[in-house]
């Protein structure tokens, strides 16, 4: 497998694929080590996890450069990703004892309680857009809970995957308890069916989710799926537009717009639509697009040329159906997978920009007449990962966020972001199950009832 720099198009690293037999051996070894790891005192697991956090921080510059070269992430954002990974490691190191404590329940028996036990080796199938965070937000609670893990990462970030392998061993975890296997997507089903795999977690497209869920269902294995998103940001007539524009721009353009939880559809009340559009255009045009290794670059290339071209086709189809380009919308000359920050208006039902997930730096503005129409548009998507509401009336915003928006997360006067302390996941075609918080740890545990007569 080759690593291609999306800035230049040059191949800068080549990796050998893991054979099916090798993958099976890695799964078997992880299973053997997991049995002993499950009996390892929690204090020892904690020490290793805290050491892992320290290593992530000490290697943040190296890891950020690797992410920039493998998938185009601006180097400053890469450092932030490494730091966030250290945060989630420390969160679970500190909270695992409380999360895993037995829950005592009165039942009329001498004693009855719920015990939380590890289930074994978990297969993790992860995407390229946050090549450290997507893995470690799952891995930290899994290892602290006493599980083992096998990682099948996206092929274009193999260097990041192998770097996690190295750091896990350096932190003192048993060598092989966690292992990266360099296999194509076609090899995932065989690993799911392996008797040494207890469960599967996937972050990726809804198509990948359907395939994994089908294979895991056939094998009767637990899954957690975090799939695509087409999050709506509702901007009501009483919104603070400067705050809304800053938040919406950050959400849409962070990581080059390549984020499941990015605000992608801007559902704007008609009374403020013109002003919001003008301010958003100005903000988008202020972003610096450039080599992700440059400190001042805010947007690098997209991860691959084919992904850039697919996004541009979605824009062209939307324009052909009547959408208007306010800024951007053209493929720049020169090498690399660059695409400019783009704003589309006059987006209506039936257009690609209305229904499809645009996985890149493109904002779709949909104008609505009132609050009820805004909610209906926000909920009209097949996806339900996140959403946001901008209004000066906090009670109004909270009511809409809590009771009306069909999503796993909804933020008021802020863009959707993940936090180790808060559960994260979606509904509808955005998947099921939760990562992060205490819930993310218990997803892959045997919640065992124990009764003493």
Catalytic site residues? 226, 260
Which residue's structure tokens are 């605000």?
Answer: 263
d(CA 251, CA 264): 8
Task: For helices 75-99 and 42-58, give the axis angle rounded to 10 degrees.
Answer: 170
Tokens encoding 12: 């800068």
Instruction: Spell out the long-range contacts of 40-48 with Cβ–Cβ below 8 A and sequence spacing 24 or more.
Output: 40/146, 42/96, 42/97, 42/100, 42/144, 45/93, 45/96, 45/143, 45/144, 45/146, 46/93, 46/94, 46/96, 46/97, 46/144, 47/172, 48/143, 48/171, 48/172, 48/173
Tokens encoding 327: 């800024």
d(CA 198, CA 32): 13
Helices (H), 219-365: 241-253, 273-286, 305-320, 352-355
Could you say which DSSP state residue 288 is in?
P
Query: Chain centroid to CA 21: how far?
Result: 30
What's the count of helices (H) and strands (E) in the chain, helices before strands? 15, 20
d(CA 428, CA 422): 20
Phi-psi region of 298 (alpha: psi -120 to 50; beta: other; left: phi over 0): alpha
3-state helix, strand, coil in the chain (%, to 5): 45, 20, 35
Instruction: Residue count of the chain, please give it.
Output: 453
d(CA 155, CA 157): 6
d(CA 99, CA 118): 13
């Amino acid at each position: 497998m080759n690593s291609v720099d999306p800035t230049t198009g040059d191949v800068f690293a080549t990796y050998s694929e893991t054979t099916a037999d090798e993958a099976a051996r890695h799964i078997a070894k992880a299973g053997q080590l997991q049995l002993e790891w499950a009996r390892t005192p929690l204090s020892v697991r904690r020490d290793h996890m805290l050491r892992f956090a320290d290593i992530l921080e000490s290697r943040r510059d190296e890891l950020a450069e690797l992410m920039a070269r493998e998938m185009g992430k601006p180097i400053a954002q890469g450092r932030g990703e490494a730091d966030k990974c250290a945060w989630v490691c420390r969160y679970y190191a500190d909270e695992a004892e409380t999360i895993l404590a037995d829950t005592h329940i009165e039942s009329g028996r001498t004693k009855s309680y719920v015990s939380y036990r590890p289930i074994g080796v978990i297969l993790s199938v992860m995407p390229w857009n946050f090549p450290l965070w997507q893995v470690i937000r799952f891995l930290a609670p899994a290892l602290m809970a006493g599980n083992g893990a096998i990682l099948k990462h996206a092929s274009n970030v193999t260097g990041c995957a192998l770097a996690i392998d190295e750091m896990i061993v350096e932190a003192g975890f048993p060598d092989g308890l966690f292992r990266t296997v360099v296999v194509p997507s076609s090899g995932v089903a065989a690993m799911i069916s392996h008797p040494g795999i207890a469960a599967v977690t996937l972050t990726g497209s809804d198509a990948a989710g359907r395939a994994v869920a089908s294979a895991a269902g056939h094998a009767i294995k637990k899954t957690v799926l975090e799939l695509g998103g087409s999050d709506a940001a509702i901007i009501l007539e009483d919104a603070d537009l400067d705050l809304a524009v800053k938040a919406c721009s950050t959400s849409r353009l962070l990581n080059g717009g390549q984020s499941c939880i990015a605000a992608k559809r801007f559902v704007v009340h008609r009374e403020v639509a013109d002003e919001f559009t003008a301010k958003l255009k100005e903000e988008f045009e202020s972003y610096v697009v450039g080599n992700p290794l440059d400190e001042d670059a805010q947007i690098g290339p997209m991860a691959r040329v084919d992904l850039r071209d697919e996004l541009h086709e979605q824009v062209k189809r939307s324009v052909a159906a009547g959408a208007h380009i306010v800024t951007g919308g053209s493929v720049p000359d020169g090498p690399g997978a660059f695409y400019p920050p783009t704003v589309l208006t006059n987006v209506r039902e039936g257009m690609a920009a209305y229904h499809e997930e645009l996985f890149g730096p493109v904002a779709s503005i949909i104008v609505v007449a009132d609050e009820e129409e805004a909610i209906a548009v926000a909920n009209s998507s097949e996806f339900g990962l996140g959403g946001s509401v901008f209004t000066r009336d906090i009670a109004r915003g909270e009511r809409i966020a809590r009771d009306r928006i069909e999503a796993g997360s909804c933020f008021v006067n802020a863009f959707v972001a993940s936090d180790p302390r808060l559960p994260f996941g979606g509904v509808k075609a955005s998947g099921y199950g939760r990562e992060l918080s205490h819930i993310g740890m218990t997803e892959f545990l045997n919640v065992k009832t124990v009764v003493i007569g």
